[in-house]
């Protein structure tokens, strides 16, 4: 039971983040996480199976949503893809995965991770000049790398930078300091990082109101 609680706590912010980066409604991320965990967990015959949000599919989902006429059409595509997977499973076609080099998968995931990190740096310093979920390398008068230097030299929000550094510092520290036993061993670091952002911004509003992150930088504002 405790392991299930920990997984759900980790999956909650991840579901929201993947949905946001994919250009989908935040609520759809929660629904996908709940249905995936209950349905896949119930149907799976393996006690060690893992199901949940996959950040590696973010770019693919975002491009698919943008290229289709509507979000409802995208949902229909997802259902069809699921039916195809069930058909392949019934046909015992999983062996086809052996023909795909592992380097292709590793390279794709590494490149997506690099894109996500680079694209989040402007938001981490409170300088939003691109739409949330934009993954284009070439944008404006340059590309992602040249724009980063422009972002860092023009403007940054002190409050956003402090919260970003505090969250990152905690995550790196928690990886090495997390206890192996006891109640804190079940405490997920990403969830605490989210709480650091929420509580930290509230404290800034009391101590240094000029440094508080405005509503235009909050997740709820992005989806409206």
Per-residue pLDDT of 107-129, as tens digits, reads 877 887 787 787 777 778 877 66
Is pLDDT of 81 > 80? yes
Section 10-19 average pLDDT:
79
Q: What is the mean pLDDT of the chain?
A: 78
Q: What is the pLDDT of residue 221?
A: 54
User: What's the pTM?
Assistant: 0.57
User: pLDDT tens digit string along 32-61?
Assistant: 888 877 777 777 776 666 666 677 777 788
43 or 79, which is more confident: 79
Q: Over the stretch 162-197, which tens digit does the pLDDT of each residue have?
A: 999 999 999 899 888 888 887 777 777 888 888 898
Q: How confident is the model at residue 138, as a pLDDT?
A: 62
What's the pLDDT score for residue 223? Answer: 44
What pLDDT shows up at residue 48? 66
Position 18 pLDDT exceeds 80: yes
Predicted confidence (pLDDT) per residue in 189-202, tens digit: 888 888 898 899 88
Stretch 123-142: mean pLDDT: 64
pLDDT recorded at residue 182: 78
Q: Is pLDDT at 3 greater than 60 in this prediction?
A: no
What lies within 8 Å, CB to CB, of 217 at 6+ separation is: 123, 126, 128, 157, 160
Q: Percent of the chain scored above 90 by pLDDT?
A: 8
């Amino acid at each position: 039971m405790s392991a299930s609680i920990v997984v759900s706590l980790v999956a909650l912010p991840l579901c929201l983040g993947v949905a946001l980066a994919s250009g989908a409604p935040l609520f759809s991320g929660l629904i996908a996480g709940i249905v995936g965990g209950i349905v896949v967990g119930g149907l799976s015959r393996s006690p060690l199976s893992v199901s949940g949000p996959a950040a590696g599919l973010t770019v693919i989902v975002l491009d698919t949503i943008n290229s289709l006429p509507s979000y409802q059409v995208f949902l229909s595509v997802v259902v069809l893809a699921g039916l195809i997977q069930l058909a392949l499973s019934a046909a015992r076609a999983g062996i086809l995965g052996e023909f795909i080099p592992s380097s292709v998968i590793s390279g794709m995931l590494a490149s997506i991770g690099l894109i996500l990190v680079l694209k989040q740096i402007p938001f981490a310093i409170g300088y939003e000049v691109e739409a949330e979920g934009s993954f284009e390398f070439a944008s404006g008068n340059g590309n992602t790398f040249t724009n980063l230097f422009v972002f860092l030299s023009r403007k940054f929000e002190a409050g956003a930078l402090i919260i970003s550094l505090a969250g990152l510092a905690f995550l790196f520290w928690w990886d090495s300091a997390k206890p192996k036993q006891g109640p804190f061993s079940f405490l997920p670091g990403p969830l605490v990082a989210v709480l650091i952002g929420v509580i930290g911004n509230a404290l800034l509003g009391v101590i240094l109101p000029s440094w508080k992150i405005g509503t235009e930088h909050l997740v709820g504002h992005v989806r409206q």
